[in-house]
Amino acid sequence: MTARVTRSARALLALAVGAALLAGCGGRPTTHHKPGTSHQEATGGNGTLLAAEDASGHRLREVPAAGAPGVRVEVRPDSEGGWNVHLLVERFRFTPESTGGGALLGRGHARLLLDGREAARAYGPWAHVPAGARTLTVRLHADDHTVWAVAGRPVEATVRLADTAGSASPVTPTAPPATPAGRTLTITVSGDSVQPPPSRVELKKGERLTLRVTSDRADTLHVHGYDRELPLPAGTPATLTLTADRTGLFEVETHESGLVLTQLVVR
């Protein structure tokens, strides 16, 4: 009888310990809001949300200078117009997959301002801006669209486009081109739908093609093989012009949504 009671006591003790362990196990604590949730995030490790705003109405998020993100900008003229922009960031990572979520220190995206007016977003270290502006400002934002700030000032870098080496060189030739200006392909992206549906576009080597793309969400246009990229602001047409100077089959796609917009066949 004693052995039987002992076995029963041990079984009850094991059940009690298991229940205690289960009671102590909760879901994983979340430190990041899902996209679409409130932008009013906690302070502390993510900085202090200030009442001050930038010119576009985004609130500043103050962080100590010692651990704050930083950015430098390099630009060079593009042979087909505008400027290629290189963002050199420190203590910062581009996180397009969590844009719209909560602020985490050292993560987010950049906004490009031409002559003080917002022109595009950058979700990576390279971007392109059109010609015509005198200054370019690159400003770092958190995923919740607040502006990273130090001592009450946005974390940003500004470069004068007119003073950049090579900017004085004319982009257009002195004589009118002998060939036609080329053709334009207009594409609209809505959700996962691409109009017109993706197909192959036949081009002759040396022919110019203008891609005019309108996306319902912010994205990045990429032409494979030519390594040309263009930010796509939500709801605003963006234009990229290239010369088909190499033969082959090249895909045109969007980075963030991963959609193939068309294929270029250059012969």
pLDDT for 58-82, tens place per residue?
A: 999 999 999 899 999 999 999 999 9
Q: Note the pLDDT of residue 7.
A: 53
**Which letter does DSSP use for residue 208 in this model?**
E
Q: Note the pLDDT of residue 8.
A: 52
Query: Taking the model in full, what pTM does it have?
Result: 0.49
Helix (H) or strand (E) holding 9: helix 2-24
**Within the chain, what is the greatest distance between any pair of CA atoms?**
110
Question: Do the two domains 48-163 and 183-266 of this chain adopt the same fold?
Answer: yes
Judged by DSSP in three states, 264 sits in strand
- Of 89, 110, 109, nearest to 99 by C-alpha is 109
SS3 content of the chain, % helix, strand, coil (to 5): 10, 45, 45
Q: Tell me the C-alpha distance between 32 and 98, whole Å.
A: 9
CATH code assigned to 183-266: 2.60.40.420
Q: Note the pLDDT of residue 226.
A: 84
Query: Where are the domains positioned within the chain?
Result: 48-163, 183-266
What are the b/e assignments for 132-147, b being 16+ CB within 10 Å?
Answer: ebeebbbbbbbbbbbb
Q: Are 111 and 118 in contact (CB under 8 A)?
A: yes
Single-letter code of the amino acid located at 62: E
- Of 263, 265, 262, 257, nearest to 197 by C-alpha is 262
Q: 40-54, 174-188, 252-266 — which is least confidently predicted?
A: 174-188
Q: Note the pLDDT of residue 195.
A: 93
Judged by DSSP in three states, 29 sits in coil
Beta bridge partner(s), residue 188: 195, 214
pLDDT for 31-55, tens place per residue?
A: 444 443 344 444 447 999 999 999 8
Which CATH architecture group holds 48-163? Answer: Sandwich (2.60)
Q: Please state the separation of Cα 214 from the chain's center in Å.
A: 16
Q: What percent of the chain has pLDDT over 70?
A: 76
Q: Are 181 and 200 in contact (CB under 8 A)?
A: no
